[in-house]
Homo-oligomer: A and B are copies of this chain.
Amino acid sequence: MTGVNDTRSPDSRRRSERSRRAIHEAALALVTEIGYGRTTIEGIASRAGVGKQTIYRWWPSKAAVLMEAFLDLAEQTAEGVPEGAEPEIPDTGDLAADLRLVLRATVDEMNNPVFDAPARALAAEGVIDAGLGAQFVEKLLEPQLQLYVRRLRAAEEAGDIRPGLDHRTALELLVGPITHRWLLRTLPLTHAYADTLVDYALYGLAPRD
């Protein structure tokens, strides 16, 4: 709606953008309050103060509204990342420091109720509903995991990790434990925990002799 081929007037575009934001916020609020299953297009429209035809015109399904609302939320909560910029994991040449930075930011996000509540509701539904889960992974999760793949590939080129590792699996040593604590609420998610994970994953549990 806001792409380069948009020929509408600035006023019309502003109104559309305002409606889109309201719809995103309504969708996230509803999924948090009543769960994915009971959230409906009608409910989102009513809460956002728009006609439901507005939603049907822009999105093919309830899942599609929510996925876009999440992408929008993730952009808003990713502090310091310029709008529209690809949020790459930094490469300062210090792999451990770069990973600590991104894992600490992940911990902060998981501890932030604005992100936690709707993300938890959507993740729980994806655990049960394989179709929704697949969309969740493809649209939201896997693109984030690929940032780690790219950073690890650069690390391999720099000689900072062992050659020949499967980077897609390797990143799970960082992301898997944090997600485990987040979803199952086993123990607190802290910066110290993030730092420890980076240390253990990079340097291994076995003695280095």
Contacts and interface: CB of A to CB of B under 8 A. Distances in A.
Q: Which of A125, A130, A180, A193 neighbours the largest number of chain B CB atoms within 10 Å of its CB?
A: A180
Nearest to A166: B196
Contacts of A196: 166, 169
Contacts of A207: 159-162
A173 B177 contact: yes
Oligomer copy total: 2
Contacts of A152: 205
A128 B137 contact: no
A137 B35 CA distance: 22
Interface in A152-209: 152, 159-162, 165-166, 168-170, 172-173, 175-181, 183-187, 193, 196-197, 200-208
Contact of A206 (B134, B168, B184, B202): B202
A142 interface: yes
Contacts of A181: 172, 176
Contacts of A176: 172-173, 176-181
Given A176-B181, A204-B205, 19 more contacts: A35-B128, A121-B128, A126-B184, A127-B184, A133-B185, A134-B185, A137-B186, A141-B184, A160-B207, A161-B206, A161-B207, A166-B196, A173-B200, A176-B179, A180-B180, A183-B183, A202-B204, A203-B204, A203-B206
A137 to B, nearest CB: 5
Given A127-B123, A173-B173, A181-B172, A205 B197 contact: no
Contacts of A179: 176, 179-180, 184
Nearest to A137: B186
A202 B162 CA distance: 13
A81 interface: no
A139 interface: no
The 3 closest A-B pairs by CB, nearest first: A204-B204, A176-B177, A176-B176
